[in-house]
Amino acid sequence: MNKFVLILCVLLLISNLIVGQTVILNEKPIEYDLKMPTDGPNFNHFNHLYLSYNFIIPFGNKNEIETNFGQSYIFNLGWRYKYKIAEFFAIGTALNFYNVTYNLAQNENKKVPNDILHKKEKIKFNNLGTEFFMRFNFGKRGNVIGRFIDLSSYVNYAISVKHLYQDPIDSNNNQYMAGVINVTLSDLSYVERLNYGVRARIGFNRWVITSSYRLSNLLKDTYLDETGDFEFPRFSLGFEIGLHK
């Protein structure tokens, strides 16, 4: 009996030593992922959504179509892709949906699209477009966008162009009617659907000041030959918010 107890104690002691020992060297080492990430704000590839809102800025040139400042704007929803070439330089592209609204001034100088005065009048362009940009980065940063300047060129195609105006109903002719009448005209024959220009952006992470200048005309030459050399304001200035961290 004593021998059995002694053998049992020895076996328990040996098993405890085997289970409790610390592994100094594993035959099959643990594999750690030391590979550098490729996707991220400051890595090789990065893409994100963004929103921008620009005010159309009139310069008051002689042949510039008069628009109401603050009511003429460009709203943009876009997706941008950036490829990092060096710490200070990247290139990229974007796909955009632009809603461009020109709120026309109603005065004796009005010539486009005609000289008829209304209570309110707008011409709206709904554009799909793309751009190519170069980005110059400044300062030290981690995996964030950081400070940058973008220079880009763009091209848009207007999938929809509408001429909208509003007039009060003449209650003198019909005493039972009152209010306003809204008219929407589409398939406008006097506008150019394709337009292009340049842009510049100054940004810090998701907050961006953005500007654009349209190089192409929005009115067809055949229409201008009849009405005169008029053109919508070309410059806009506003802000952008990147939908990323």
Closest CA to 86 of 46, 47, 48, 42: 42
Domain ranges of the chain: 40-243
pLDDT of residue 69: 94
Helix, strand and coil content of the chain, in percent to the nearest 5, comes to: 10, 50, 40
Closest CA to 148 of 82, 244, 102: 82
Q: DSSP assignment, residue 231?
A: B
pLDDT of residue 18: 46
Q: What end-to-end distance do the CA atoms of the chain give, in Å?
A: 73
pLDDT of residue 213: 98
pLDDT of residue 245: 76
pLDDT of residue 229: 82
Instruction: Please give the CATH architecture assigned to the domain spanning 40-243.
Output: Beta Barrel (2.40)
Run means of pLDDT, 10 residues per run, the chain, 245 residues = 49 48 49 63 90 95 92 97 94 97 95 93 97 94 90 98 91 68 93 97 96 96 76 97 90
| pTM: predicted TM-score of the whole model, two decimal places | 0.80
CB of 88 closer than 8 Å to CB of 119: no
User: Could you give the CA distance from residue 19 to residue 15 in angstroms, rounded to a whole number?
Assistant: 6
Phi-psi sector, 140: left (phi>0), alpha (psi -120 to 50), beta? beta
